[in-house]
Amino acid sequence: MRIWQADFYRRPLQDETGKPLWELLICDAARSFQFSAFCQQSQANSDWLISQLQQQTKTQNVPNLIQVFRPQSLSLIAAAAKNLSIKVEATRRTAALKSLLQERATEYPNMPNYTRENYSPIALDSPPPVPLPENLWGDKWRFASLRAGDMVEAFTGRPIPILEMPELLLPLNLGLASTIPVPGVVIDGGRQSMRLAMWLQDAKPFSLNYIAGAPDGLILEAGLADRFVVATFEDSEVKAAAAIYEQRKQTSQGLHFLLVQPDDSGVTYTGFWLLNS
């Protein structure tokens, strides 16, 4: 499958009238293909995007999919891609594009129309987390870990209704040693197990992070910018387990998992997601 990653947004640059300049930036996962084009803010619309995409498809193979991580870019790129019969996926997993954006950010200060404004190339507005819907919560949850070398065998080939193990997140593809413990969170959903798993699948989990506070909590990052409170706790033993969970993420290159199951029998799983901070 041919996949492009794209971003279309204003940069810390301005035109001769002092209005912001927008940049379309496209690359593939290997960054063997890269493209950049600027336009005035008055031109920043789907028609301009269509013309740019059409020009690129004359010299490059037409992609099957365009991935977009920035919410403000999504509707414009989706409208343009639809005109060209190209599918668009909203996803935070655009590592190549984010790397390219960070490199471009070092080039803007050398341009004559640089505005000197504060600029974070991949930062998104982070809304306050909201609680998970009460009717979805299961019986109990806990921290867990699984050896990297056992990850694939443990969950592939089993009748798991929802299984999300992207190839780029497989331990072998990350170069993790088989003995590295991959941390995770297990939710025993009881009768709500399938409903919870289906809700999570629609929410598109990205990462699950321990946030210290009053109280401490587990925050699910999902979709492009959604945040949900999975659990809160004040117990010292749970806090200690949470600290180990985050420490293990450091040694697993951010790789972690979320498992939803009806109970702790280990016989039936409902949903499994590989995640990465």
Nearest to 94 by CA among 37, 168, 165: 168
Q: Are residues 175 and 272 in the same domain?
A: yes
- 207 close to 169: Cβ distance less than 8 angstroms: no
Query: Which of residues 49, 77, 110 is at a domain's end?
Result: 110
Residue 3 has a pLDDT of 97
* 117 falls within a domain: no
Q: Two tokens at 64? A: 């099957």
Q: Two tokens at 79? A: 């409208």
Residue 133 has a pLDDT of 83
Sheet with 162-164: strands ordered across: 140-147, 181-188, 255-261, 271-276, 162-164
Residue 84 has a pLDDT of 93
Q: Are residues 102 and 182 in the same domain?
A: no
What secondary structure, in 3-state letters, does the chain show?
CCEEEEEEEEEEEECCCCCEEEEEEEEECCCCCEEEEEEEHHHCCHHHHHHHHHHHHHHCCCCCEEEECCHHHHHHHHHHHHHCCCEEEECCCCHHHHHHHHHHHHHHHHCCCECCCCCCCCCCCCCCCEECCHHHCCCEEEEEEEEHHHHHHHHCCCCCCEEECCHHHCHHHHCCCCCCEEEEEEEECHHHHHHHHHHHHHHCEEEEEEECCCCEEEEEEECCCEEEEEEEECCHHHHHHHHHHHHHHHHCCCEEEEEEECCCCCCCCCEEEEEEC
Q: How far is 209 from 243, CA to CA, in rounded Å? A: 10
The total of structural domains in the chain comes to: 2
Q: Are residues 28 and 134 in the same domain?
A: no
Q: Are residues 104 and 213 in the same domain?
A: no
Query: Which of residues 110, 145, 170 is at a domain's end?
Result: 110
Q: How far is 28 from 180, CA to CA, in rounded Å? A: 30
* 116 falls within a domain: no
| Domain range for 98 | 3-110
* 123 falls within a domain: no
Residue 157 has a pLDDT of 79
Residue 214 has a pLDDT of 82
Q: Are residues 136 and 218 in the same domain?
A: yes
- What are the per-10-residue average pLDDT scores of the chain (277 residues)? 96 94 97 96 96 93 95 96 96 96 97 94 90 82 96 88 94 95 95 93 96 91 94 93 97 96 87 95
